[in-house]
Structures are given as C-alpha cells and as structure tokens.
Amino acid sequence: MALRRLLFLCLIFFSFTKIIALPKEQELDRISALPAQPPVKFSLFSGYVTVDEEDGRALFYWLTEATHNAHTKPLVLWLNGGPGCSSVAYGASEEIGPFRINKNGSLYLNKYSWNRVANIIFLESPAGVGFSYTNTSSNLKNSGDKRTAQDALKFLIRWMSRFPQYKYRDFYISGESYAGHYVPQLAEQIYDHNKKAPHPIINLKGFIVGNGVTDNYYDGIGTVTYWWSHAMISDKTYKSILKNCDFRSQQTSHECDEAVNYAMNREFGDIDQYSIYTPTCGASSRKKKKKKIEVSRSFKNTLIGQRFSGYDPCTESYAESYYNRVDVQKALHANITAIPYKWTACSDVLIRNWKDSDHSVLPIYKKLIATGLRIWVFSGDTDSVVPVTATRFSLSHLNLKIKKPWYPWYSSGQVGGWSEVYDGLTFATVRGAGHEVPLFQPRRAFILFQTFLLGRDLPTS
C-alpha cells in the first residue's frame, strides 16, 4: 500500500514538473523584439523542432500570435513551395506576415497581416530550406514529397507538445505554389494519423491553397494555354509545344525543350513570369532571366513553378540581407548550429535534387473532400507559372457538383475576383494578383482568408 502511494506521488510530481517545464520551453522561444522592429502588442516565438534525431533534421518555425484575443483564434500553418523555398522569406516577409522589410533594413507593419484573425506559424520546410537544417548531408540530395509531409507532421505533434494551448485549437493549413503538393499531402497525413489516435491530436478543419501545383498533365495544358491566350507566345510556338510535349511523361523530348526554350527566351521578353503585368527590378531582372534559361531545360520542372524570384526581386534581396544579419539570427534563435552557408530565400540544392513528386494530388483532394474538411483553392490571375487556367483545368476533373455558380466577388466596391462554390470545395480568383497573391493584392487576399475562416461565401457586393 505504501509503495502504491509512493508511486502515485511520484507520478503527480513528474506530471507537475512537466506542466511547469512546458511554459519554460515556450519562453526560450519567445522573441523579445527583432532588430529595427516597430512596437507590437502580440507575441512572437521562433526556434527549432527536431523531427529526426538519427539524421539530425530540425525544422525552423516562426509563430506570430494573433493581434487580439490570441487564445480564441484558430492556428494556421503557412508553407511556401519551390520545392526548396522559405516561408520566412516569402510568406512572412512579403505576403501575410506582420512585418515588411525596408531597403535600409528596418521593418514596418503590414496593414493586412493575416495574424489580425489567426495565429500563424511559418515553417521552413523541408530540412535544408532557410534556417532548417540536417546533420546528414545526403538528406539534401534525396528530399521529396513523402518525407516532407512526414517531417511536417512530426513537427506539428512535437510543436504542440511545446505549445499545449494550441493542441486542440481549430487548425488550418495554407500555402502557395509547390505547396499545392505540401498542403494536401500534410492534410492527408494528419487525417490518417488522427484516425489511428484515440482522439484527434490535431484538430484539422481544412486548408486553403493559392496558385498551387496540382496535376502535371492538366497544369501543363493550362499553362501553355495561358501563355497563348495572354499573347505571351506566338500561334506557331503554341502549336509546337502542344505537338512535341507529352505532359503525362516524367521526361521531356529535345523537341519539347527546344519549343519551350524558344518561348521563354525569345518570345516572353524580359518580364516577371510570376506577375506578367508588373515591372521588374533593374539589373535583378537580367539575373532572373538567366535563371529561367537554366530551369527551362525541363518543361516539367518549369511547370512545377520553381521560385527564384517574386514580384519584386529587390524585396527578396532585402530579406536575404536582413536574415543574414547576426543580430537578427540571435533575436530569432536561428542558425544555432552555424550552418556552413548563407541563409537564402530558396535552396538550389533541394530544387535540383528533388526525388519524389506526386504526378497529381487530385486523388488526395477526392479523399479529403469526402471527409468534410473545408477546402478552398484560389488563383491570382496574372501569374503565368501556375496560372488560373492550369488550376481550373485540374479542378474541373474532380467532377464536383456546382452549389453556387460562377459569380463576381467584391472588395472596396470593386470586383475582387470571381468564385464558384462546389460540393466540397470553393474556387476563387483574385483579380490583378500574381503568383504571390497577398503581395499584389493584400486587401483582397485578406478578405479571401477571413471569409475562408468564417466558412462563408465571398461577398457579392
């Protein structure tokens, strides 16, 4: 009897010390202030979560809690694509995060930050992206969709142990570009994991994807159609690509590559393919054009939407300057292992060595639609890399029943875009937005996101 009582007291003691330790772990990740940051009233946290002890893989995250009543707001995970590009560089610093970066290295507030209505985690994934690292160099040359999703799930489970107040919070996943793979793949991992658990460990409610890679075949047809319909290529080149490119194949022919190279290097001109109607940034545009010559050797890779630059290459350079500062890394609790390379917006090594990539994520959409998750897909309509036509072609092959037919939605008295509501999925366009929708149309993107969280249709007036 005495032994049983002793064991009971020990159990209480260890449980109590564990509860006490958790807030301490959080406090170690708290950001007191970033260099040149304007004052804010919401909390910021960042740090590492190990997802593989044997290989030494650890993912870097940045949590920006909601500006008001954070304890009642949902939790949203944001993922950028690439594959191999940083959610800190793009999502946090150019799109939906609370701060933007000035040329002089100071920060200013983003009026339409998504943390006005949710707690946002920006995750640099997979290992090798941004500050996320691996101690096993071969990991950088064998990354792919499967391990990325598995590591992201491990991250969430372990992160929620560190932040137990979020464990049963309404949870959503969001992202863009090649995260068109990451987001539904992670959602599927969470759904399958929850089914095996005695009660849902992660309270997944849905996901929202922008300009996302969806299906290689339909995306391919839709992309070339966009180029032609927006007068970026000639009739002759359009016909040549359709004739010589097998969008179902993992390999491309010499004739296909020749046709695509001709389009990109002779007919496109010096434009930003991610936003075809906005200006480029001086000398940076010439550097960007050289990059596109390199990736266009494989039409399949071009269509994946490898991201070497955004709307403003100058803005991207501001981020690279800022996050390579020692004082910034110290404030973020980042680069604690002294990675032997500079922080960059995208990892060329991962992009070049991506091993497994689903040909299509439409089967995952079908599976998850049947579960009743809230699923939205949106497209900025001036992006030629993962264009609106590609997404519409892909989604049309889900053969979903239309609940609310095509209609214009409004922002500030102007048409913000168009939408169609299906049985199990909502599709919306954002008028005048490029690949990074919240960068080009921040107010419209915010209305879109807020409406998604509320589970409503977009405003019709």
94 within 8 A of 100, measured Cβ to Cβ: yes
* Token representation of residue 209: 């994807």
358 is catalytic: no
CB burial of 179-200 (b: ≥16 within 10 Å; e: otherwise) equals: bbbbbbbbbbbbbebeeeeeee
362 within 8 A of 375, measured Cβ to Cβ: no
177 is catalytic: yes
Compute the distance between CA of residue 457 and CA of residue 353 in angstroms, rounded to an integer.
41
Strand, helix or coil at 275?
A: coil
362 within 8 A of 410, measured Cβ to Cβ: no
Compute the distance between CA of residue 116 and CA of residue 450 in angstroms, rounded to an integer.
9
182 residue type, one letter: Y
Nearest to 309 by CA among 90, 88, 83: 90
* Token representation of residue 416: 């913000």
Phi, psi dihedral angles at 120 (to 5 degrees):
-115, 130
Compute the distance between CA of residue 28 and CA of residue 350 in angstroms, rounded to an integer.
30
Q: Which of 383, 384, 411, 419 is catalytic?
A: 383
Nearest to 294 by CA among 352, 344, 239: 352
Strand, helix or coil at 171?
A: strand
321 is catalytic: no
Q: Which of 87, 177, 296, 384 is catalytic?
A: 177
Compute the distance between CA of residue 419 and CA of residue 176 in angstroms, rounded to an integer.
18
Structural element, H or E, at residue 417? strand 414-422
Parallel, antiparallel, or unpaired for β 171-176 and 204-210?
parallel
Report the DSSP beta bridge partners of residue 109. 99
Nearest to 42 by CA among 65, 76, 74, 63: 65
Parallel, antiparallel, or unpaired for β 204-210 and 374-380?
parallel
Parallel, antiparallel, or unpaired for β 75-79 and 171-176?
parallel
Q: Which residues are catalytic?
A: 177, 383, 435
